[in-house]
Every structure is written in C-alpha cells, then in structure tokens.
C-alpha cells in the first residue's frame, strides 16, 4: 500500500532513509497534501506522561539508567550447605562386574580421597552429638530416608519434603517438577547399603559443625514422568530399572533440631547414559558458566581438617 508520490511529497521521502524491511512495511506517512503547518500543529497538543512498558530493564541498563532497587531482604539459610565437602571418587568397575573378575580388578582401585586417613576422628566428632551412631545402622536409615523423600515428591509439597531433604537438594528436585506428575516406586534393594565416606567441616566458627556421609545404594526402581496434559514424557510405568547411586546425606551437628537429610548425589563420569526423552526436541544453547563469578564465590567452609588436630590435644 504505497502512498501516492506527488511532487510535493518527494522531499519527505528523500529525508526518511528506509531499510529493506521498512520498505516492505509500507504505511501511509504524511497524507496531508501541504504539510506546511505540521510543526506548528504539534504545539497545540499537550505532552502526556506516557509510560515505557515496551522497553525492558536490560535496554535501559545499556543506556545508563539504573534498575529499580528492591527492598526485599533475602533470608540467609544456615541449616544446609551448598556443596559437597571432599567428594568421594567411586571406582570404575563398580556395579558392572562381580568382585572376583578381571574387569573389576582393572578399574577397581579406589582413589584415595583426602581425608580417608582421618575417618575415625570425623566419627568421633559425630558421636559427640549422636552417641548412638553406628555405620551399618545408619546405612539402613539412610536408605529409608531416600525412599521417603522420593515418595513424597509426587505430592508437590515443599514444606513436607524439607523433613527429608535439604534446601540444596530441594532446589534441584522441585524446580523442574512443578508442572508434571511423577510416579515413583521402590521395588527392592539389590545389595546392602554401605557407608563409604565421612566428612565434617566447620563454617567460620569453631562451634558450627556440618557432617556429610556418602552411602552406596543399589536398587530397583520404577519411574514415570507425565506431562502437564497427561502424556508420558520419560520412563515407563511397568518396567523396573537397576540403579547404582552414591548419595550424600548431611546434618547440621550444632543444631539441636538437626537431622540427617538427603543432600546431593555424586554422578561419576563412567556412568551409563540415560534413556532418551520420548519426544524429540531441538538442542538448547550450551550453558555458559561465568568464570569470573565462580572465582568471586568463596565458600565459607574451611578446606582443611585442621579442626581435628585439637581433639588429640584435648585428650593428651
């Protein structure tokens, strides 16, 4: 829909430099045959205070305008940490082959983590708060916590889940689960759960103690994830699967109301690939990590086991 080009309008069209896109979008500009009084006409109108709903804060920040300040004070949570202290490195042949085979012997050397030599000292600290702490007993209770946490997932109640799960794990479990239905079933455990690793750490002050325990769980489970509309998105409702996992449980020892809760999972690099999602999808852009941000983030937990040396001094 081009406007009629008269001789009187040519000077306007020359001034307005149009791109190719704009030339396809033709709207009737300057319909008046004698635009002599166009600028005087502007003075007859008041300037209303129209708001900028279209532009985003990002564009404004580029131009130099500060974004609006939010007066919401975010709460700080001390009951859980956000990391795994001294992660356990599981051996490669675990779960694939039996103990007495060649394949297990090749890749089965347990890589020694830093604080395996000080295991008994960590145990001693844990027993100060829990006098009845036994490794074998704890493995079974940990398995029960694992079952309870996953069975409550389907109810979509985060407050109920916090009894069994720390805030760090709630973030990871609850985020993508909001608008889906999950059906999870525990069938049986194939091997006994075993405690593999114990760590305690301090946060800033001597009296703040956190303890983490990794447990090896080998089990059979059923998982089916359904869509917002009731379509199957992942897994199946009838076929069970063998699952080998190294689960981390955490407790805030200096808190009188603290309890052992599911904290995180260690996924080794040699684990088998997951089954694919049923529907096809386009690959999203790769997740970019801010290296500068990660350098600035400093964990408040000490990286050493230096708090264990004082136990010997007290005894001696």
Partner 1 sequence: MFNNLIKSLNFLSHNIYHINRSIPTGLFHTNLASFVNKQDKSLEEDDFDLQRKESAKIKNLERLGSIKSHISWPQYNRIIYPPTEDGKPIRNPFVHHMRHFVKYPAKKMWYPALMIRGMSIDEAIKQLSFHRLKGAHIIKEVLLEAQDLALKQHNFEFKSNMWISYSTAVDSFRVKGVRKHRAMRLGMVEYKYCTYYVRLEEGVPPPNYHLEAETYEARAKEYIEKLRKRSIYLSI
Residues that bind partner 1 (CB under 8 A): 1, 24-27, 44-54, 60, 65-68, 179-181, 226-233, 279-282, 284
Minimum separation from the CB atom of position 79 to partner 1 (A): 29
Minimum CB separation of residue 240 from partner 1 in Å reads 19
**Token reading at 236:** 């199946």
Closest CA to 214 of 244, 171, 248: 248
229 versus 257: smaller Cβ distance to partner 1: 229
Distances in whole angstroms, Cα of residue 250 to Cα of each of 34, 153, 196, 299, 302: 80, 19, 14, 17, 16
CB 233 within 8 A of CB 279: yes
Closer residue to partner 1 in complex, CB, 31/280: 280
68/272 with CB nearer partner 1: 68
Please tell me the distance from the alpha carbon of residue 24 to that of residue 45, in angstroms, as a whole number. Answer: 31
Q: 305 by DSSP, 3-state: which? A: coil
What is the end-to-end Cα distance of the chain in Å, rounded? 96
From CA 275, how far away is CA 64, in angstroms rounded?
48
Nearest CA-CA partner of 189 in 124, 236, 139, 238 = 139
Nearer residue to partner 1 within complex by CB, 47 or 290: 47
Give me the half-sphere count of Cα atoms (radius 13 Å) on the Cβ side of residue 153.
Answer: 28
Residue 214 in contact with residue 248, Cβ under 8 Å?
yes
Q: Closest approach of Cβ 132 to partner 1, in Å?
A: 43
- Closest distance between partner 1 and the C-beta of residue 60, in Å? 7
Instruction: Map tokens 């081009």 to a residue.
Output: 2
Closest CB 133 distance from partner 1, rounded Å: 42
Least distance from partner 1 to the Cβ atom of residue 162, Å: 22
- Whole-number minimum distance, CB 227 to partner 1, in Å? 5
């Amino acid at each position: 829909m081009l406007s009629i080009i008269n001789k009187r309008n040519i000077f306007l069209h020359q001034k307005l430099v149009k791109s190719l896109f704009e030339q396809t979008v033709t709207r009737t500009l300057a319909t008046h045959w004698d635009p002599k009084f166009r600028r005087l006409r502007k003075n007859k109108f008041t300037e209303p205070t129209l708001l900028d709903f279209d532009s985003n804060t990002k564009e404004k920040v580029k131009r130099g305008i500060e974004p609006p300040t939010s007066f919401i004070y975010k709460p700080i949570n001390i009951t859980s940490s956000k990391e795994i202290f001294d992660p356990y490195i599981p051996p490669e042949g675990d779960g694939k082959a039996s103990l007495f085979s060649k394949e297990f012997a090749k890749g089965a050397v347990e890589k020694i983590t830093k604080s395996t030599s000080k295991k008994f000292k960590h145990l001693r600290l844990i027993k100060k708060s829990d006098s009845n702490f036994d490794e074998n007993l704890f493995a079974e209770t940990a398995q029960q916590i694992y079952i309870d946490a996953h069975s409550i997932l389907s109810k979509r109640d985060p407050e109920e889940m916090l009894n069994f799960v720390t805030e760090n794990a709630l973030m990871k479990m609850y985020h993508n689960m909001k608008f889906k239905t999950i059906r999870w079933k525990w069938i049986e455990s194939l091997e006994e759960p075993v405690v593999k690793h114990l760590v305690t750490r301090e946060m800033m002050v001597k009296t703040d103690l956190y303890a983490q325990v990794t447990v090896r769980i080998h089990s059979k489970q059923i998982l089916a994830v359904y869509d917002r509309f009731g379509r199957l998105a992942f897994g199946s409702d009838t076929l069970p699967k063998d699952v080998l996992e190294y689960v981390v449980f955490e407790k805030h020892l200096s808190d009188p109301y603290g309890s052992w809760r599911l904290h995180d999972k260690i996924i080794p690099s040699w684990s088998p690939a997951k089954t694919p999602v049923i529907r096809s999808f386009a690959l999203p852009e790769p997740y970019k990590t801010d290296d500068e941000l990660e350098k600035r983030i400093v964990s408040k937990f000490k990286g050493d086991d230096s708090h264990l040396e004082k136990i010997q001094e007290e005894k001696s």
